[in-house]
């Protein structure tokens, strides 16, 4: 188990700025030490405001040409669909950064799900030059937390929560759209840093269960995220952190 850090901001808008600041800082650090920053983006509504800030107020704080973008999960829809996680990141951030196509490693939600999962494993092997049995080491994986305690597209009760052989799983979840592609916890747990973003009162019970509840990843899938040799950072607003002990 690596280091753990919980950052609590008074309001959601301050959380977005703090998350963007942390990402810009981590990008600079990674680019200085090994020449590039490999980030896996999350879907959901919370990161959208962070992506917008990164592309505007933080535009000149990051050397975008040295950033490689990946995704933690994707809905099985086309890249232009309003429900696509790629489409959200593209609209809010990527389209404003003047990137080369080879910097954007999207999950191909338009493929048949199992084929999409295998294609993304192939993409990870190629992009990280992985040898057989090796896992990618992301500089940063951004994650959200669902009210039902899911993260990525690992929903309560899904056997994919315990997947260790595959890097990417095709799953059928209890939310629309049902068919999704997701990195497995094994991949995320090999990252250098993992950052959960959660805001709002509706997240308070989920945050409490995942951080302080009894260990039960089948019920609380976000507990499966536990980087072995990396840092886990929670960036929360006051409302999302309100049920944590001592806050």
Residues contacting 144, CB < 8 A, separation 6+: 42, 43, 44, 46, 47, 151, 196, 197, 198
DSSP 230: S
Query: Using CB under 6 A as the criterion, what x/- string covers residues 147-186 for binding ligand 6PG?
Result: ---xxx----------------------------------
- Whether 50 and 20 have beta carbons less than 8 Å apart is answered as yes
90 near ligand 6PG, rule: CB under 6 A: no
Q: Closest residue to ligand 6PG, Cβ-based?
A: 144
Rounded to a whole number of angstroms, the minimum distance from the CB of residue 157 to ligand 6PG is: 16
Rounded to a whole number of angstroms, the minimum distance from the CB of residue 187 to ligand 6PG is: 14
Rounded CA gap, 155 and 173, in Å? 6
Half-sphere exposure of 214 (CA within 13 A, CB side): 3
19 near ligand 6PG, rule: CB under 6 A: no
Rounded to a whole number of angstroms, the minimum distance from the CB of residue 211 to ligand 6PG is: 16
Instruction: Please count the helices (runs of H) and the strands (runs of E) in the chain.
Output: 6, 9
45 near ligand 6PG, rule: CB under 6 A: yes
Contact with ligand 6PG (CB under 6 A) among 16, 19, 23, 46 = 46
Rounded to a whole number of angstroms, the minimum distance from the CB of residue 83 to ligand 6PG is: 9
230 near ligand 6PG, rule: CB under 6 A: no
Tell me whether strands 140-144 and 37-41 are parallel, antiparallel or unpaired.
Answer: parallel
Query: In the complex, which residues of this chain contact ligand 6PG (CB under 6 A)?
Result: 42-46, 73, 85, 144-146, 150-152
């Amino acid at each position: 188990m690596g280091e753990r850090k919980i950052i609590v901001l008074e309001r959601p808008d301050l959380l977005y700025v703090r998350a963007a600041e942390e990402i810009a800082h981590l990008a600079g650090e990674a680019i200085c030490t090994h020449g590039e920053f490999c980030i896996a983006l999350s879907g959901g509504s919370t990161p959208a405001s962070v992506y917008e800030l990164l592309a505007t107020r933080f535009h000149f704080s990051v050397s975008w040409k040295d950033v490689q973008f990946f995704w933690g999960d994707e809905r099985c829809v086309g890249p232009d669909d309003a429900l696509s996680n790629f489409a959200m990141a593209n609209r809010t951030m990527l389209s404003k950064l003047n990137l080369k196509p080879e910097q954007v490693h999207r999950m191909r939600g338009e493929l048949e799900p199992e084929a999409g999962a295998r294609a993304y494993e192939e993409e990870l092997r190629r992009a990280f030059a992985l040898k057989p049995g090796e896992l990618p080491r992301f500089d940063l994986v951004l994650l959200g937390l669902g009210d039902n305690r899911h993260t990525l597209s690992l929903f309560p009760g899904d056997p994919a929560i315990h997947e260790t052989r595959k890097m990417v799983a095709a799953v059928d979840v209890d939310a629309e759209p049902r068919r999704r592609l997701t990195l497995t916890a094994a991949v995320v747990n090999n990252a250098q840093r993992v950052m959960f973003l959660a805001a709002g009162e509706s997240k308070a019970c989920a945050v409490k269960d995942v951080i302080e509840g009894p260990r039960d990843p089948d019920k609380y899938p976000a507990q499966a995220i536990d980087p072995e040799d990396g840092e886990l950072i929670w960036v929360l607003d006051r409302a999302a952190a309100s049920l944590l002990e001592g806050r």
